């Protein structure tokens, strides 16, 4: 009995450099030239206030998401979404912070840390910010205990002050005590 010879692997041609590859190379070069202490923040709107999360906590932004409700969940929990086979809890960040609910059609920030993912519904995306440590101020005193738990600083952008958030308390393996009734 003669065994067939396995086929010779064909080299896979790499895509020719196109505008996307060139853009990615330019962005990578820009990032490599930045000082290592520079931090990037993605800012967003909740009502009339602007907030920002460090981009290292952000996995992706979803434009439109319809959650499946979870019976008996706190008001701040909008439900769960199926994100490419992963079930992700979706919070209304406005309600979580004790404010007005976020727009039902607002974008969702999908955060990830330590293998745990969480979606945060916000009103609108704003801008990407770059800040050196000396441009980050102490957090402003906040009225809401939920906001106090997440606020890690503040910074100016144009004529307004943004609250910088650290989502790590939300990304614990279990959500902290539910806010927003």
Partnered with residue 129 across adjacent β-strands are 41
> What 3-state class would DSSP assign to 82?
strand
* 40-165 under CATH 2.40.50.180, yes or no: yes
Tokens standing for residue 118: 């969480």
44/22 Cα distance (integer angstroms): 28
Tokens standing for residue 120: 């945060």
Contact 111, 100 (CB under 8 A): no
pLDDT by residue for the chain (181 residues), tens only, comes to 555 555 555 555 555 567 778 877 887 888 788 888 999 999 999 999 999 999 999 999 999 889 999 999 999 999 999 999 999 999 999 999 999 999 999 999 999 988 889 999 999 999 999 999 999 999 888 778 889 889 999 999 988 889 999 999 988 765 545 454 4
From 84, 82, 104, 102, select the one nearest 94 (Cα to Cα). Answer: 102
- Check residue 68 and report its DSSP letter: B
pLDDT for res 5: 55
pLDDT for res 178: 46
- For 47-179, where are the E strands, in sequence order? 49-54, 58-62, 77-83, 86-92, 108-113, 116-121, 124-131, 151-157, 160-165
89/93 Cα distance (integer angstroms): 12
pLDDT for res 4: 55
pLDDT for res 106: 95
pLDDT for res 6: 54
User: Would you kindly state where each structural domain of the chain is located, as residue ranges?
Assistant: 40-165
Query: Is the pTM of the predicted complex or chain greater than 0.85?
Result: no
Residue 19: C-alpha distances to residues 2, 13, 23, 31 (Å)? 50, 18, 6, 18
CA atoms within 13 A on the CB side of 72: 0
């Amino acid at each position: 009995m003669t065994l067939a010879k396995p086929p010779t692997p064909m080299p896979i041609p790499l895509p020719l450099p196109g505008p996307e590859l060139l853009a990615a190379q330019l962005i990578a070069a820009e990032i490599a030239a930045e000082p290592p202490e520079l931090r990037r923040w993605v800012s967003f709107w909740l009502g009339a206030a602007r907030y920002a999360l460090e981009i290292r906590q952000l996995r992706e932004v979803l434009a439109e998401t319809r959650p499946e409700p979870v019976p008996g969940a706190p008001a701040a929990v909008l439900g769960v979404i199926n994100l490419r086979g992963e079930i992700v809890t979706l919070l209304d960040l406005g309600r979580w912070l004790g404010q007005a609910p976020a727009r039902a059609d607002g974008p969702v920030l999908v955060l990830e840390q330590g293998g745990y993912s969480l979606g945060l519904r916000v009103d609108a995306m704003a801008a990407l910010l770059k800040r050196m440590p000396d441009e980050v101020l102490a957090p402003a005193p906040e009225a809401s205990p939920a906001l106090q738990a997440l606020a890690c600083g503040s910074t100016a952008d144009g004529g307004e002050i943004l609250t910088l958030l650290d989502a790590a308390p939300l990304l614990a393996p279990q959500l902290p005590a539910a806010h927003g009734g």
